[in-house]
Amino acid sequence: MTTEPKRNQIAAISVGDLNGIGLEVILKSLSDDRILEMITPVLFASQEVVKAKRKQLELSQMQLWNAGSMEKVKEGQVNLIDCWEEQPSVQAGVADPELSGFTLRSLDAACKAVEEGAADFLVTAPLDKSLVAQASEGFTGHTGYLETKLEGDALMILCSDQLRVALVTGHIPVSEVASSLSIEGIMNRLSQLNRSLKNDFGIQRPRIAVLGLNPHNGDKGVIGKEEQEIIQPAVERAFRQEILAFGPFSPDGFFGTQEYQKFDGVLAMYHDQGLIPFKMLGFETGVNFTAGLSLVRTSPDHGTAFDIAAAHTADHGSFREALYLGRQIAMHRKLEEQIRSNPLQASKRSTRDS
């Protein structure tokens, strides 16, 4: 039996807003040669912009390979593919809508590389939604953009060593959260999260905690009925479908008593309910993973940080972890595909290894 030679997983990297901290955390991460032993990074930007940032960061020892195309990407190198010929006016820390076109060109090129199978996973540096929306009408962020582009059913999961949090509702006003909840909607998110925990993280029987919406879970309907009428029925229905969902839990007590440590995933009702405790527990190493897409996409769990972009003091831990998690999930998906395509061979291997 012949086997393909092992190779590094190839990461297609979009550079985000050029005036933010995106390129800074990318280059700081890739200056560690240990990453290049496992991952072959490909930056989609321009030589001038990347080399200028490398100089500002005093990373002259970092070698950049101008690949030009995915066919010429080299393992063990930081690869660069030009996405534009213009010379954008880069001013770190300035919120400039004129740069949004370059942001989208980088994102589209990186996404295309993964779609076509030339790269194994996508890692996106942060962008400013309001600025990009001026260049692309209706743009609400990476998650929605990729969901539309790839026709997937995206679910944002924030991941760290301590916690995985998914959201029922995403980037909508808090005033619209309650009216946006439904039994079917929560069931859909529970199914997505359960499937991702199995297929992407290799957890055979994941336990999922579901948070309530109102203070004290509504106090039996005194200060809100969503728990009784929507959330609890969804949890019960999910359990009947063999999804190990539990709750609803009152969020303050759930996180205050560290109950989250007993679960493989947590489903929050709205953005800040899930992200505030998550970022308090793992801000420097947290990763945003988009489940439900045909490709693997991760990103750091922070934004453009215009306020510190000119100082070059950004912590790159979250971007580094986004690279590692993207690699891990991409490899796990490939393994699952191999097992499904040849279950008998997988069974023999499992018997031999036991």
Domain boundaries, the chain: 1-155+286-354, 162-284
Lowest mean pLDDT among 13-17, 146-150, 226-230, 316-320: 146-150
- Is 304 exposed, middle or buried (CB count within 10 Å of its CB: 0-12, 13-18, 19+)? buried
Instruction: Report pTM.
Output: 0.89
C-beta of residue 208 within 8 angstroms of C-beta of residue 246: yes
Please tell me the distance from the alpha carbon of residue 308 to that of residue 22, in angstroms, as a whole number.
12
Q: Which residue has the higher pLDDT, 311 or 7?
A: 311
**Is the pLDDT score of 81 beyond 90?**
yes
**Is the pLDDT score of 24 beyond 80?**
yes
Tokens in use for 269? 């009702």
Kindly give the pairing relationship between strand 164-167 and strand 121-124. unpaired
Q: How many CB atoms lie within 10 A of CB 85?
A: 7
Looking at residue 82, its amino acid is D
C-beta of residue 308 within 8 angstroms of C-beta of residue 21: yes
Question: 32-67 pLDDT, tens per residue?
Answer: 999 999 999 999 999 999 999 999 999 989 999 999
Tell the residue number behind the tokens 């029987």, with chain if given.
Answer: 205
Percent of the chain with pLDDT over 90: 78
- Is 8 exposed, middle or buried (CB count within 10 Å of its CB: 0-12, 13-18, 19+)? middle
Please tell me the distance from the alpha carbon of residue 19 to that of residue 306, in angstroms, as a whole number.
7
Please tell me the distance from the alpha carbon of residue 168 to that of residue 237, in angstroms, as a whole number.
16
**Is the pLDDT score of 316 beyond 90?**
yes
Tokens in use for 261? 């440590």
Question: 211-235 pLDDT, tens per residue?
Answer: 999 999 988 889 899 999 999 999 9
As assigned by CATH, the class of the 162-284 domain is: alpha beta
Q: What is the mean pLDDT of the chain?
A: 91
What was the pLDDT predicted at 344? 59
Going by C-alpha positions, the residue among 45, 25, 23, 19 that lies closest to residue 102 is 45
Question: 336-351 pLDDT, tens per residue?
Answer: 777 777 665 544 544 4
**Is the pLDDT score of 89 beyond 50?**
yes
pLDDT band at 354 (very low <50, low <70, confident <90, very high): very low
Please tell me the distance from the alpha carbon of residue 292 to that of residue 190, in angstroms, as a whole number.
12
**Is the pLDDT score of 92 beyond 80?**
yes
C-beta of residue 95 within 8 angstroms of C-beta of residue 303: no
DSSP result, 225-269: SHIIIIIHHHHHHHHHTT-EEEEEE-HHHHHHTTGGGG-SEEEES
Mean of the pLDDT values across residues 169-175? 90
Lowest mean pLDDT among 61-65, 295-299, 309-313, 339-343: 339-343
Q: How many residues are listed for the chain in this entry?
A: 354
C-beta of residue 82 within 8 angstroms of C-beta of residue 50: no
- Does domain 1-155+286-354 sit in CATH 3.40.718.10? yes
**Is the pLDDT score of 312 beyond 70?**
yes
Please tell me the distance from the alpha carbon of residue 260 to that of residue 266, in angstroms, as a whole number.
7
Mean of the pLDDT values across residues 131-153? 84
pLDDT band at 138 (very low <50, low <70, confident <90, very high): confident
Percent of the chain with pLDDT over 70: 95
Q: Which residue has the higher pLDDT, 184 or 281?
A: 184
What was the pLDDT predicted at 350? 45
Which residues face 211 on adjacent strands?
249
Tell the residue number behind the tokens 């946006």, with chain if given.
Answer: 180
Q: What are the angstrom distances between the C-alpha of 22 and each of 92, 104, 135, 158, 160?
A: 10, 14, 19, 19, 20
Sequence-distant (≥ 6) Cβ neighbours of residue 208 within 8 angstroms: 190, 193, 194, 197, 243, 244, 245, 246, 263, 264, 265, 266, 267
**Is the pLDDT score of 103 beyond 70?**
yes
**Is the pLDDT score of 193 beyond 50?**
yes
Dihedrals phi, psi of 147, to nearest 5 degrees = -60, -45
Tokens in use for 131? 């600025």
